[in-house]
Structure 1
Amino acid sequence: MAIQNPEPTPVDDALVAELMIGAADLHCHSGPSVMARKLNHADAVRQAKNAGMRAVLFKDHYYPTAPVAELLKEMMGDDDFAILSGVTLNNHVGGLNPYAVEHGLKLGARLVWMPTISAANHLRHGHRKRLLPTKVPMNASTALTVVDAQGRLVDEVKAILDLIAEHDCTLATGHLHISEIWPLLTEFKHRGGRRMLINHPEYLIEASLADMKELAGMGAYLEHSICQVIDCPSKKFSGEELRGFIEAATVEKTIFGSDMGQMKNPFPVDGFREVIRVCLRLGYGEDAIRRMVGQNACDLIGLSPLAAETAVPRQAAQ
């Protein structure tokens, strides 16, 4: 007879709603996009604000999101909710292009991702099955790496690091391999950079638990994709594996980003609710969960926390 998996331990919905207050998603894949998306940027803002979240940052693999974010700030922004943007350095913005970075940062972008879908590491992983397919045909990516044949950081990346450091913005490592991340972060710190984010180190990046500990020791935050640790079609890791990731980097250096917006997955806000439930079931306390779903991301990106009098779900306050 087949063994039935036990039902998850029930979690109080009111507590989940309380822990959503002040959460910040630095990895929201809303649309429009050439990739199939479940919601658009305006929907993502409405859902996050209604849940009492502090911020959402739009990420697209094909275009800088600063123009969209700046428009939505005028239409939907307020002092208690930050609409944020970034630049992803894939082929579609010219690759490792300082001009694209300069434009994005001066328009208001707060984060710069190293190559994702155009990263040589990403393309190697997708040699049998294309990763992150588009809804319409697109030209094949040309592999990008931040190091030369001797493993040294290339000059155009150094110019990009100077721009990020000058604007005191966040450097995210995208889909680079762990072997590329070490020289990248070392050079960034040497050039005065402070804000560093490692995207899903356990997926594609091939970072070990020892690597995660060392990266956190360098001052980097480690972002785990919610869609990979909750019960949904994109799940890749168990709760116990997640515990290992958190313990390697510590609660103080762990961030959750939804990495959601795909048609097959729940909405990003629902993903945050579910990862809170996962963390409660793993035994993490309320203060630790608040750090991982909101406070750490706000500290990294340079946002102040919500004022106490406004820290209530907006839907409930209406």
Structure 2
Amino acid sequence: MAIDRGQIAVAAPEPGDSGPASSPVTFDAQPDPAMVGAIDLHVHGYPDVGLRWRMRTDDLTLAKLARAYGMAGIVLKSHFWPTMDRALLLNELLDADNFTIYSSITLNQLVGGISPMAVEAAAAHGARVVFLSTWGSANDHAHGGVVRRQVIDPMFPSFSGHLDRSAIRVVDGNGRLSAECRDVMAVSADLGLTVSTGHLSTDESLAVARHAADMGFQKLIFAHPFSPSIRAERAVMGEIADLGVTVEMTQALTVLPRAPITVGDIHATIGELGSQRVVLTSDVFFDWLPPQAEVFRMFLGQLRSLGCTTEELRTMVVDNPARLLSR
């Protein structure tokens, strides 16, 4: 598939503006061959945690840019609210037969936590991905994750106290998966949904992975295991991957001011796990980063410079996402 280099307008920030950028800045889109047909399974739009937390672009501009780079779709994620209504409207506005915005639900306290009812209702509205608890998980609360420290706590000072009482853990003291989480997995399997482990701890993610293997569920993603809130050892990543789980590697973790990992770490992990067991995502969450599609292009280019082939990259951004989102 040939992609023409074209002029792309991306919104630039207005001084004092509390929303996404609004003044267009034009530059040439230069798609990476590996991006043609790619689907980014972890994209934060605007708004996510509130109008005060800016993103680099509005959702429609983000989607148009991703399409111009040759991508086939994105999964729109919010830490707070389901994204089904937004995705439906955005797809109608785009009116494209070669690009799809997929929607999701994140099972934090605001939507009822680990709730099979929430998952079933979300699927009825078009959701394709279920993220298990993120900032609402006991693991993230204990570590004070990046989203909590830099975004949620400053904006919502009451949340920490509420989480002291309601933080979510999906295993009991003996490491057994909770009945609610088993029900969420069952509903997700029945409805053909993809499940991500969110910000659960390593032991919780292992419990979810083992249960998924027992039930023959092949659409589970071990979310950003290098995250400071998770800190999974590579041996654990391998153990989870051996259970049939796809391991997510995100660009965002490599570009933070105090980045916990480098792209070299990700490249080494791909070498150990194999590209067929890895999915690459952007997970852009700060307005000082380039737009999602450009971050994604940079990520692929960096990995290629370290030795990944275009075939390996396409396995991780085209084939594996398509398999995970398939019905």
Aligned residues: 290
2:251 to 214, 226, 231: 226
- Name 1:26's counterpart in structure 2: 41
For 2:325 and 2:207, locate their aligned partners in 1 and report how far apart those are by CA, in whole Å: 22
Q: Assess, with a 3 A threshold, how the Cα gap between structure 1 residues 295 and 77 changes in structure 2: closer, same or farther.
A: farther
Cα deviations by residue, 1:162-185 (Å, 9 ceiling, x for unpaired): 110101211110000110112212
Question: Alpha carbon RMSD of aligned pairs, Å?
Answer: 2.3
Matches within 5 A, 1:150-189: 150-189=174-213
Residue identity opposite 2:210 in structure 1 = T
Question: Structure 1 residue 17 and structure 2 residue 32: aligned?
Answer: yes
For 1:127 and 1:27, locate their aligned partners in 2 and report how far apart those are by CA, in whole Å: 17
- Name 2:139's counterpart in structure 1: 121
TM-superposed deviation, 1:157? 1.3
Task: After superposing the two structures, state which structure 1 stretch, 275-284 or 31-40, moved more.
Answer: 31-40
Question: Structure 1 residue 200 and structure 2 residue 218: aligned?
Answer: no
- 2:220–2:245 Cα contact (<8 Å) kept: yes
Task: After superposing the two structures, state which structure 1 stretch, 55-64 or 140-149, moved more.
Answer: 140-149
- 1:21–1:54 Cα contact (<8 Å) kept: yes
Matches within 5 A, 1:157-306: 157-203=181-227, 204-229=229-254, 231=255, 233=257, 235-302=259-326
TM-superposed deviation, 1:237? 1.6
TM-superposed deviation, 1:276? 1.4
Q: Assess, with a 3 A threshold, how the Cα gap between structure 1 residues 99 and 132 changes in structure 2: closer, same or farther.
A: farther
For 2:267 and 2:135, locate their aligned partners in 1 and report how far apart those are by CA, in whole Å: 28
TM-superposed deviation, 1:92? 0.9
**Other structure's SS at 1:182 match:** helix
Matches within 5 A, 1:127-138: 130-134=148-152, 136-137=155-156
Residue identity opposite 1:122 in structure 2 = D
TM-superposed deviation, 1:255? 1.0
- Name 1:308's counterpart in structure 2: none
- 1:209–1:244 Cα contact (<8 Å) kept: no
How many percent identity over aligned positions? 29
For 1:295 and 1:128, locate their aligned partners in 2 and report how far apart those are by CA, in whole Å: 30
TM-superposed deviation, 1:89? 0.4
Q: Assess, with a 3 A threshold, how the Cα gap between structure 1 residues 55 and 284 changes in structure 2: closer, same or farther.
A: same
- Name 2:14's counterpart in structure 1: none
Residue identity opposite 2:289 in structure 1 = N
For 1:107 and 1:17, locate their aligned partners in 2 and report how far apart those are by CA, in whole Å: 33
Matches within 5 A, 1:41-190: 41-126=59-144, 130-134=148-152, 136-137=155-156, 139-140=158-159, 141=163, 142-190=166-214
- 1:39–1:261 Cα contact (<8 Å) kept: no
Task: After superposing the two structures, state which structure 1 stretch, 291-300 or 174-183, moved more.
Answer: 291-300
Q: Assess, with a 3 A threshold, how the Cα gap between structure 1 residues 239 and 226 changes in structure 2: closer, same or farther.
A: closer
**Which structure shows the bigger proportion of residues in strand conformation?**
2
- Name 2:11's counterpart in structure 1: none
- 1:90–1:115 Cα contact (<8 Å) kept: yes
For 1:267 and 1:201, locate their aligned partners in 2 and report how far apart those are by CA, in whole Å: 23
Q: Where does the alignment leave 5 or more consecutive residues of structure 2 unmatched?
A: 1-27
Residue identity opposite 1:172 in structure 2 = S
**Other structure's SS at 2:127 match:** coil
1:36 to 35, 51, 54: 54
Scaled by the length of structure 1, the TM-score of the pair is 0.84
For 1:19 and 1:61, locate their aligned partners in 2 and report how far apart those are by CA, in whole Å: 28
Scaled by the length of structure 2, the TM-score of the pair is 0.82
- 2:40–2:281 Cα contact (<8 Å) kept: yes
For 2:292 and 2:258, locate their aligned partners in 1 and report how far apart those are by CA, in whole Å: 13
Task: After superposing the two structures, state which structure 1 stretch, 134-143 or 69-78, moved more.
Answer: 134-143
TM-superposed deviation, 1:138? 5.7
Residue identity opposite 2:198 in structure 1 = G
**Other structure's SS at 2:149 match:** coil
For 1:121 and 1:25, locate their aligned partners in 2 and report how far apart those are by CA, in whole Å: 25
- 1:227–1:234 Cα contact (<8 Å) kept: no
For 2:239 and 2:135, locate their aligned partners in 1 and report how far apart those are by CA, in whole Å: 26
- 1:29–1:60 Cα contact (<8 Å) kept: yes
For 2:182 and 2:211, locate their aligned partners in 1 and report how far apart those are by CA, in whole Å: 8
**Other structure's SS at 1:85 match:** strand
Task: After superposing the two structures, state which structure 1 stretch, 186-195 or 218-227, moved more.
Answer: 186-195
For 1:240 and 1:178, locate their aligned partners in 2 and report how far apart those are by CA, in whole Å: 22
- 2:80–2:106 Cα contact (<8 Å) kept: yes
